[in-house]
Every structure is written in C-alpha cells, then in structure tokens.
Amino acid sequence: MNNNKLYIKNGGSDYSSQPYIRSEFIFNAKYKVQNVAQCMYEENHYSNFDDNIEIAETIPLKDHKSIGFSYMKYKKNFSFDARDFMLKGFKFYHNGKFYRYATSVPHKIGLEMKPLPNATVRGFILQACGTLQRDEKD
C-alpha cells in the first residue's frame, strides 16, 4: 500500500468534542473488493493482522450475515488499560461498493450482552462507517 492518508480533526462536530478521523488506503495491487472487505471488516480476520486483539467475534442478528453485533477486546498496551467494544452495525455491497456502518451499543445493554471483563474499560464509538471500492480507472 502506498499513498495512505490519515485525517484528524479535533471536535468532530458542534455536539461532541470527539475527534473526527478519516483514513484513505490505496492498494498498489489489484484485489477483489470482497476480499479486502472480508479482511478489514470481518472480526474473525482481525487477529491475523492486529496483535493487540484478544477476542474478536460477530454475533449475527437472527441469522442475517450482514446485520448484527460485533465484540472486540484489546489487550492492555503500555499504560493504556485493556479496552473492549460492543457494536451494532450492518454491511452491504451495492453497485460495486462495499459499505459498513457501526456504532456502540448503549452501555447498559452492552453490559447485559457482554459483561465487562476485569481490568477492562468499555470503549464507545459514536459512529464508524467505511466504504470500499475499486479505482474507477481499473
């Protein structure tokens, strides 16, 4: 990968002081969108490229593969406590693009679904979204 870009804006909106983070990745090799999406957005693949992942699992909603819940637990790293995330989201492929949207489950419901492990801080993601597509010139 070359030409990777990371954008960070403090205070992502008038309603939150959370940062807005955007990234762009351009792959020099040609890959099928479905293969890249599988690697980047299916939890069972996360541990293949992220050594900090302790647990990563998908909990489908009523046997739907594209709608459901995701749970990730990251190991303690340096002075940061271990973190876990309980997300709800959906993903789909349409007109040559792959889309993924996710947000954290409300805290109380998340704790009912997955109790907080010892020495772990529950992280909160306001909104995460992504698209994957081939370069129009390809």
3-class secondary structure, 118: coil
- Please indicate, yes or no, if residue 8 is contained in any of the structural domains: no
pLDDT at 85 (0 to 100): 95
The CA distance from 23 to 70, in Å, is 21
Is 120 inside a domain boundary?
A: yes
> Which residue segment(s) compose the domain that 62 sits in?
30-133
* Tens-place pLDDT, residues 8-65: 887 766 766 777 777 777 777 777 777 777 777 777 777 777 888 899 898 888 878 7
The enclosing H or E element of 113 equals helix 107-113
Per-residue model confidence (pLDDT) at position 116: 95
Q: What's the pLDDT at 89?
A: 93
Q: What is the pLDDT of residues 71-95, one digit of tens each?
A: 999 999 888 899 999 999 998 888 8
Residue 7, C-beta contacts closer than 8 angstroms, at least 6 positions apart: 20, 21, 22, 23
Query: How many residues appear in the chain?
Result: 138
1 falls within a domain: no
pLDDT at 138: 64
Domain count, the chain: 1
Residue 3 confidence (pLDDT) = 72
| pTM across the whole model | 0.76
Q: Which residues of 69-104 are buried (b: 16+ CB within 10 A; e: fewer)?
A: bbbbbbeeeeeeebbbbbbbbebeeeeeebbbebeb
pLDDT(1) > 80: no
CATH label of the domain that carries residue 88: 3.30.530.20
DSSP code per residue over 10-79: SS-BTTB-PPEEEEEEE-SS---HHHHHHHHH-GGGGGGT-TTEEEEEEEEETTEEEEEEEEEEEPPBTT
**Does residue 53 lie in a domain region?**
yes
Q: What is the pLDDT of residues 100-127, one digit of tens each?
A: 899 999 999 999 999 999 999 999 988 8
